Structure 1
Amino acid sequence: MSAEPPQDQPESRAQYQPPAGFRRLRLRLAWDGAPYAGWQSQPAASSVQDTLLSACARLGAGSFRAVAAGRTDAGVHAEDMPAHVDVSEDFGVPPGKLARALNAWLPPSVAVLAAAEAPPGFHARFSCTERRYVYRLLASPQRHPLWAGRALHVPQPLDAQAMSAAAAHLTGTHDFAAFATQEERQTVRELRALEIVPGPHIWEIHVHGESFLRHMVRGLVGTLLLVGQGRLAPGEVAEILASRSRAQAGANVPAHGLYFAGASYGGPASTTERSSR
């Protein structure tokens, strides 16, 4: 049972309402992506969406699947993912107690951080005006067991200045076909931020935009790593971008270093859902 509108992004922000007899709740979710084939429900594969649906069913919340701000791939984590779920009007669990009630039925790999009544016209996916990701690198000669499955181990030294120079060529509105995998949609996107944040051991690459192509973030990070390792010059990234050829860019980095880190509603600078990092 589904109450979803067509999947194309509307040109103007529409007002979305739950079906008759239902009310819409707004959730904030976090999960470890390792056990899941992604957010989206899939046949014969474990998904975060279906895991949440099962917990909702335990509480008698109705049969509508939750809708998230983004559709993460297999193995991708979420620190703070906005979502909505439509429940029957007579659903008896108050919003203030819903997070605890759902968490009692969810596995340790998924948690509801907060729940509230959704504002009128809210849609977790189509009302979203910015999505934020962070990719984590363990920049260390040796691996670390506590970061296994949480950050990509990069034993070689990285040049943060060169990576930042390359990132400057990618920020803005461009055709990102060179960084997308098997993408059938139009490939022009606005990349609002691409920032390299070095650390003593853990480096972060922050990526902000309204929407992204399939595997685009992982392709961008893979290309920046080639620059950081001295295998590409920063200026060559502009040539790769202009080529629109996926074969010219770096390989997709593994999913386990990628996190959905937060989203905005109401405008790019209006952060109503923020990562707790």
Structure 2
Amino acid sequence: MTFSEGGGFEGGRVETSRGGRGAAVGGGVGLLGIAVFLIAQFTGVDLSGVVGGAQGGGAAEEVGTIGECSVDEANTTRECRLSGTVQSLDAYWAAALPAAGVEFVAPGVRAFQDSVGTGCGQASASTGPFYCPPDQKIYMDLRFFDLLQSQFGASGGELAEMYVTAHEYGHHIQTITGVMDRADRQGTGATSDSVRVELQADCYAGVWAGTAASTVDPDTGVPFLEPITDTQLADALSAAEAVGDDHIQEQSGGGVNPHTWTHGSSEQRQRWFTTGYNERDMAACDTFAATDL
């Protein structure tokens, strides 16, 4: 069990789509280290050699939404887990941002299959999860979680999937707080702004995870999550390790080259997630002020 008994999640918060002409995304911010720069601002990864390109063949996208979900469904199905996670993130950040003097605006979220059209360009399943700043929307092909285990060696688990969602949500927080505009995301390297942006999003994901068991759903009066277990936390840290730049470079068969990093090492990603989880305060996530990442 992850989500608390007695709750439930209303429908319509998360869009779904299938089809559309697939191609590479430009301008989005992704979970993984970069393989090829498509335009200067793109920090996703090209996974075409792992999961293949788009399957849409130019067909029109079929757009819908995820319906109402029970707690059991949120604990057993990926679409409902995504919906529940997003609503938990909404509740946390809707309280945390005004307390920090920032107006909260919820991001859009779309779970897509095969390919999707975005304000950052076209994307296929080979893109991986990403956030598109012009749309202020998160895009996720939920089959990525299988890839995270089979190709990148993560242990899996519910909190690992939630970490991915919370990381992309963190990029939205950076957008509405102005971090994304101020950062120079064209650079690479172990101390680059690109890496600092990604590590801060990991830290924000940790802040949410650390507070989720005490954040109450305003609709049901029930905390969103049961207390996180050591095993669940280990699963989230395993996912953070799997998407470290050094780990991805090792998996690709090449040498580790910190000068090309855009997301940070496995150790850094785990450490900043843990910092957020333990501190439970977005003020602890100022990676731009940190001298030691």
TM band (smaller chain): under 0.3
Q: TM-score, normalised by structure 1?
A: 0.26
Report which of the two structures shows the higher radius of gyration computed on alpha carbons.
1
Q: TM-score, normalised by structure 2?
A: 0.25
Q: Which has the higher helix share?
A: 2
